[in-house]
Amino acid sequence: MNDLARDRMPIDLPKPQMVQPFWFGHPEYKATGWYLRGLPKLSATDILPEPERGSGEWKRWNRVHRMPPGPERARLRSRSFPGMMQAAAVQWTGYALRKAAA
């Protein structure tokens, strides 16, 4: 989250859990913050080894941050990664069902 957005958040908002797409099998860097209220932290499911900093592969992993201005930039930068969403669905649904059964 950039400084401007962070400054606009409520003071009492808990610290988010930050996750990366490469923790869930997607070769990209794009930190995503989850504000978890009553949910456990999301666990990585398919961690990819990070490329060497400055390499061509590392630059490809940073494509979200390197996108040029354009009409599709905001949409492409805000997309979610399927592996991350699947992990959230599986882990948090299972947690909710166990909690409801207790």
Query: Got the DSSP string for 16-42?
Result: PEEE-GGGBT------EEE--SSSPPP
Res 27 pLDDT > 90 = yes
Question: What is the Cα Rg of the chain in Å?
Answer: 16
Q: How confident is the model at residue 25 (pLDDT cuts 50, 70, 90)?
A: very high
Q: Is pLDDT at 6 greater than 80 in this prediction?
A: no
Q: Which helix (H) or strand (E) holds 87?
A: helix 82-101
Structure tokens at 22: 């490469």
Q: Is the pLDDT of residue 2 over 80?
A: no
In whole angstroms, how far apart are CA 70 and each of 62, 80, 81, 94? Answer: 17, 19, 21, 40
Residue 11, pLDDT > 90, answer: no
* Digit-coded pLDDT (tens) for 68-83: 999 999 998 888 899 9
